[in-house]
């Protein structure tokens, strides 16, 4: 028994370790990382490598102690390229003497798309176990294995992820757009998506909308934006 039988009890990191151990033992070569979530929800998750995802999920589904037989939710996340500041201790020769110095340098973490699934067990009344998969990059043809063969309920949700984030799911039986029309080419939930400029009238613009409204209207410096507050008309 990996998880407690309490109703809707999310596994803590310790039991995730057990699940990870069990899955890695059952699927040779599988590589699973635990992504901690220090927030109030404490919903840490398992990051599964794409190559063995289908087998690992089959294990989670079929293992008699886990029996995660219900996929309640599947969603996408878009992670842009980001730079992480790191301080590393480096040995340097200073004044003829070798010293350990803290050196800050920035590391570029390339962006990726992520699919997140919440798995529950109807049999044992436990869950959610949160699993994630990551694409290699944010390119248009980014791919992930589909979990629809294991969970029928993932079919429409993976279509939605495909529609809004552009992740292609290998092994999905019917991968088409589900919300937007078939001719649509963008992926609206990606962070670099720019929606069509199709509204002209904005009575009280602010922030992003203000920037957009400025493209349509002559500026009114005494009303728009604090930066122009000194430029009041005489």
Partner 1 sequence: MSGQIDEGLRSELQRQGIWVTSMQDLYNWGRRSSIWPLQFGLACCAIEMIATAASRYDLARFGGEIFRPSPRQADLMIVAGTVTKKMAPQIVRLYNQMPDPKYVISMGACAISGGPFKQGYNVLKGIDRYIPVDVYIPGCPPRPEALLHAFMELQRKIDGQKLTGDNRAEHLNPAQPSEFPVPAFGAHDLEPPANPDVFEPPKIERT
Binding range to partner 1, per CB under 8 A, among 50-58, 61-69, 90-98, 180-188: 180-188
Binding range to partner 1, per CB under 8 A, among 21-29, 52-60, 62-70, 173-181: 173-181
Binding range to partner 1, per CB under 8 A, among 15-23, 51-59, 109-117, 212-220: 212-220
Q: Which of 98, 106, 198, 215 binds partner 1 (CB under 8 A)?
A: 198
CA distance 127 to 157: 19
For residue 70, report the phi and psi dihedrals to the nearest 5 degrees.
-135, 120
CA distance 42 to 20: 17
Q: Which two tokens stand for residue 107?
A: 């590391």
Residue whose C-alpha is closest to residue 152's, from 76, 61, 67: 61
The b/e string for 157-188 (b: 16+ C-beta within 10 A; e otherwise) is bbbbbbbbbbbbbeebeebeebeeeeeeeebe
How many Cβ atoms are within 10 Å of 56's Cβ, its own excluded?
25
Q: Which of 29, 38, 96, 203 binds partner 1 (CB under 8 A)?
A: 203
Confirm or reject binding of residue 220 to partner 1 (CB under 8 A): yes
139 versus 179: smaller Cβ distance to partner 1: 179
Q: Which two tokens stand for residue 37?
A: 């979530």
Smallest distance, Å, CB 160 to partner 1?
13
Smallest distance, Å, CB 227 to partner 1?
18
Q: Which of 14, 100, 183, 215 binds partner 1 (CB under 8 A)?
A: 183
Confirm or reject binding of residue 199 to partner 1 (CB under 8 A): yes
Q: Which of 14, 95, 106, 200 binds partner 1 (CB under 8 A)?
A: 200
41 versus 185: smaller Cβ distance to partner 1: 185
Confirm or reject binding of residue 195 to partner 1 (CB under 8 A): yes
3-state helix, strand, coil split of the chain in percent (to 5) is 20, 30, 50
Give Cβ neighbours of residue 98 (< 8 Å, ≥ 6 apart). 91, 92
Confirm or reject binding of residue 193 to partner 1 (CB under 8 A): yes
CA distance 80 to 160: 20
Site map 80..99 versus partner 1, x via CB under 8 A: --------------------
Q: Does residue 100 sit in helix, strand or coil?
A: strand
Binding range to partner 1, per CB under 8 A, among 11-19, 77-85, 139-147, 199-207: 199-207
User: Which positions touch partner 1 (CB under 8 A)?
Assistant: 179-186, 188, 193, 195-196, 198-201, 203, 209, 217-218, 220, 223
């Amino acid at each position: 028994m990996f998880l407690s039988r309490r109703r809707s009890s999310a596994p803590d990191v310790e039991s995730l370790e057990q699940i990870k151990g069990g899955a890695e033992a059952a699927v040779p070569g599988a590589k699973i990382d635990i992504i901690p979530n220090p927030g109030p929800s404490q919903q840490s998750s398992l990051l599964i490598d794409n190559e063995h995802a289908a087998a690992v999920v089959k294990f989670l589904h079929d293992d008699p102690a886990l029996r995660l037989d219900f996929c309640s939710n599947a969603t996408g996340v878009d992670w842009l390229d980001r730079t992480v500041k790191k301080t590393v201790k480096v040995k340097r020769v200073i004044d003829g003497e070798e010293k350990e110095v803290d050196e800050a340098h920035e590391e570029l973490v390339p962006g990726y798309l992520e699919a997140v699934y919440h798995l529950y067990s109807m049999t044992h009344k436990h869950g959610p176990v949160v699993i994630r998969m990551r694409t290699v990059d944010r390119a248009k043809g980014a791919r992930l294995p589909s979990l629809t063969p294991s969970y029928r309920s993932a079919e429409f949700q993976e279509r939605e992820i495909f529609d809004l984030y552009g992740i292609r799911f290998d092994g999905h039986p019917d991968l088409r757009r589900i919300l937007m029309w078939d001719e649509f080419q963008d992926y609206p939930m990606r962070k670099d998506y720019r929606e069509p400029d199709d509204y002209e009238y904005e009575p009280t613009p602010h922030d992003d909308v203000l920037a957009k409204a400025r493209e349509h209207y002559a500026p009114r410096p005494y009303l728009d934006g604090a930066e122009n507050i000194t430029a009041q008309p005489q």
